[in-house]
Amino acid sequence: MTNLRWLDLIKIKICCYYYELISNYNRVKRKKWYLTVKLIIGLGNPGNEYKQTRHNVGFMVIDELASVYNISVNKKKYKSFLGKGSINDIEVILAKPQTFMNLSGDSVALMLKGFNLSADDLIIIYDDMDMDIGRIRIRDKGSHGGHRGVRSIIDAIGTDSFVRIKIGIGRPRAGMDSSDYVLTNFKKDELPMLKEAIKRASDALSFLIKNNVAAAMNRYNK
């Protein structure tokens, strides 16, 4: 066999080796991409009359994320508006349940089943009366704390072990029922603090999904 023939065989083997190497890399990359999907759900009530209310800060954060990362949250499925995209090279699904707050769990359970995800892949964003306006807090698990939307989710999926980002909305004035308070709009002088909290929550979520919950809590729970 001539030297030229040997060289041709070597070139073919090298090409086959690199083709197999690249194919294996792509398979691993696709698998990793699938395994890192995060379902990010903001809680709120559907309808324009609730759009600017305190109970809808979860929706507001989803809108902020959708704007920053150019994700259209307009597909109606699983009793929710949702959209797929990526944040920091992690595939995400942004969602705003349309069931009204007290039945949020119905939609969340449908999405987890429909996308073949678990509570480990879930991040819930919602309002918290026990924190001042402008503050956020990240937790990796915990009770519903009286929040009916979170209680509905825990009841529907059977666990409270999921990540949540809570946005402070302040306490109602003396004598005002909390269920009425959460349906009030933010006051004009509260809007700058609200805007900052929404941005901070968006930044925290971006950091969280790229790193881990413990690191995010250390950085943003202040």
55 carries an active-site annotation:
yes
**Which residue of the set 55, 96, 135, 164 is catalytic?**
55
Task: Please provide the DSSP assignment of the chain as one string.
Answer: --HHHHHHHHHHHHHHHHHHHHHHHHHHHHHHHHHT-EEEEE----SGGGTTBGGGHHHHHHHHHHHHTT----EEETTEEEEEEEETTEEEEEEEE-S-GGGHHHHHHHHHHHTT--GGGEEEEEEETTS-TT-EEEESS---TT-HHHHHHHHHHS---SEEEEEE--PPPTT--HHHHTTSBPPGGGHHHHHHHHHHHHHHHHHHHHS-HHHHHHHH--
**Which residue numbers are catalytic?**
55
